[in-house]
Structure 1
Amino acid sequence: MIKIKFTNRLNQSGLSLVEVVASIVILSIILLSFFTMLVQSAKTTKTSEEIIDATYIAQTEIEELYAYSAKNPFPIGNFEANIFPNFHFIKSKNENGIEEYYYEKQESAYIILKVTPKTIASTNLTRVLIQIYDKKNGTMKAQMENTLEWGT
């Protein structure tokens, strides 16, 4: 004779609908935080790349001007034609009345070079400031400053 045993189904353990929904909500919150972190990381990486590129451009311009200044005396009179004849220079005066020279170069950014000629006749020192601006929104991405001693 075969005996069939029936068990009480009320004692069986399993997942209820509330437990499944709660686990889905918790998992969604965790995944959303990871997704937000990845998006923010991508934005930070892009901004860092732009700043590094702008700094490289500024460094290159400073090195070109340094190479010229080491071999040549400070050009008096037609400064813009002697150093960078291929760029359009704008001559202006700052708040102290000292002449400064600006130029804009079209690449991935706008480059503004400010060269303040020597203010003391006995020195060969000149202040050079290069600023790199973003083409899209006009914000400054990098700035580099140096003091150059001109050759004799």
Structure 2
Amino acid sequence: MDRNRKHEKGLTLVEVIASLALISIIIIGVMAFFATAVKTNDASETLLDASYVNQRYMEEIYQLADTSSDNERDNQLRNAGWAKTTAGRYTRQASGYYLELSITDARPATTLKNISLNVYKDPEHRRLASQMETKRQWEPKS
């Protein structure tokens, strides 16, 4: 009887279960890596898109600052699609994002302005996706 056992080939049930457990652990680890990579890729894409939108509209604001006076600002921004919410604050929706523009005096009695443009993912302005700030003279260039 011992002679027959020595010549048997194959795996025992314990070996099969141990192999399956080891393979499962490896697969779960690899799947977690891919899930993290997908989340990181989505976050990077959102940041890149929001930064592009922010840069595009900030350049539009620069153009308005160079071509319109402080007195014409509200009309020029309204013509460009911005809605005035309060003094010096404007909102707009573009490319699936919600933009909030703030223009305030950097120093009293000067044409130097603080310009802040925030891009949000939600209409309630809770999830900030991108933000740009600058100081700029708001007067027509000759």
* TM-score w.r.t. length of structure 1: 0.77
Which has more radius of gyration? Answer: 1
Summarize the Cα distance change of 1:43–1:136 in structure 2 as closer, same or farther, 3 Å threshold: farther
> 1:44 — aligned with what?
40
Matched, 1:32 2:32: no
Secondary structure at 2:93's aligned position in 1?
A: coil
Matched, 1:79 2:73: yes
Question: In structure 2, how many angstroms separate the alpha carbons of the residues matched to 1:25 and 1:120?
Answer: 71
CA RMSD, 1 decimal: 2.3
Secondary structure at 2:115's aligned position in 1?
A: strand
- Conserved in 2, the CA contact under 8 Å of 1:115 and 1:127? yes
Secondary structure at 1:116's aligned position in 2?
A: strand
Note the alpha carbon deviations across 1:3-62, whole angstroms, 9 max, x for none. Answer: xxxx92232464221111101100001001111111121122112111111111111111
Aligned match for 2:117, one of 130, 133, 143: 130
Summarize the Cα distance change of 1:87–1:71 in structure 2 as closer, same or farther, 3 Å threshold: closer
What is the CA distance between 1:118 and its match in structure 2?
4.5
- Conserved in 2, the CA contact under 8 Å of 1:72 and 1:151? yes
Aligned match for 1:119, one of 107, 121, 130: 107
Matched, 1:103 2:99: no
Flag structure 1 segments of 5+ consecutive residues without an equivalent.
1-6, 93-99
- Conserved in 1, the CA contact under 8 Å of 2:82 and 2:92? yes
> 2:54 — aligned with what?
58
Note the alpha carbon deviations across 1:67-103, whole angstroms, 9 max, x for none. Answer: 2222333x22x532123423321124xxxxxxx2222
Deviating 4+ runs (over 4 angstroms): none
Flag structure 2 segments of 5+ consecutive residues without an equivalent.
none
Question: In structure 2, how many angstroms separate the alpha carbons of the residues matched to 1:136 and 1:46?
Answer: 20
Matched, 1:10 2:13: no
> 2:84 — aligned with what?
89
Structure 1 counterpart of 2:98, one-letter code: Y
* TM-score w.r.t. length of structure 2: 0.82
The share of aligned pairs that are identical, in percent, is: 25
**Matched positions, count:** 136
Structure 1 counterpart of 2:37, one-letter code: S
Q: Please, which moves more after superposition, 57-66 or 105-114?
A: 105-114
Structure 2 counterpart of 1:102, one-letter code: Y
Secondary structure at 1:110's aligned position in 2?
A: strand
